[in-house]
Copies of this chain bind each other. A is one copy, B any other.
């Protein structure tokens, strides 16, 4: 019998905006989405931050759309001259731009005589764009093929993503963490053996700040909960006298740090 299970989904995020590159604004959206995709079982494989420039947007979106299951863009969909995400994505996929009546109508209703060409550009989409509406904001998520076009304003970005989120649900990751008072180099061989023998993903994150109660956090991950449990037990057994266990977070579904 042929195994019909599709390969696990992966994803890339493209953040569009000079304000991120100039350090004026700190990214909220990639950090939020990284954790949410993890919780949904989607492997995020790349984040890129590009300026408000057509060539840079086209190049990055095209590359990611051909390489990953899902691409999420953030930013550049407002009414000003630097909002060029929608026309750039249209060029990336060589489709024309068309005014969407379901976006134009509420803009005209709201602005009336004050409606500007900038406002109309917000309703001018790559042909074939699907609009997905949620409950929180009137502004919809936009989908063109495997590209999800979201606005940069964090509140709307999150609301739009959560409207879409059920369609990304896959097999979740399970994660255990072992916090150690140990030199990272002294446990390196044990960690490598763990990854090799148990097929888990092992991470090792040193801390040198005084606030931390540990010197290294070791993470053990897999889509199989029992595998994480076995690998965690093996690690705890294999630690030498130089490594003191501070605490252990047992295997649990990976979730976003901000979401408990």
Contacts and interface: CB of A to CB of B under 8 A. Distances in A.
Interface of A: 18-27, 30-31, 34-38, 43-51, 56, 78-82, 111, 114-119, 122, 153, 155-156, 183-189, 191-192, 195, 201-209, 219, 221, 242, 254, 256-257
Nearest to A49: B47
Contact of A185 (B82, B118, B256): B118
Q: Is the interface of A mostly helix, strand, loop or mixed?
A: mixed
19 contacts: A19-B205, A22-B34, A23-B35, A23-B36, A23-B256, A26-B31, A78-B204, A80-B187, A80-B192, A81-B202, A111-B183, A114-B186, A115-B185, A116-B186, A117-B188, A117-B189, A118-B185, A118-B189, A153-B208
A114 B18 contact: no
Given A19-B205, A48-B46, A78 B116 contact: no
Nearest to A191: B80
A185 B116 contact: yes
B49 A46 contact: yes
A7 to B, nearest CB: 16
A215 B19 CA distance: 16
Contacts of A116: 185-186, 188-189
B44 A185 contact: no
A219 B46 contact: no
Contacts of A119: 185
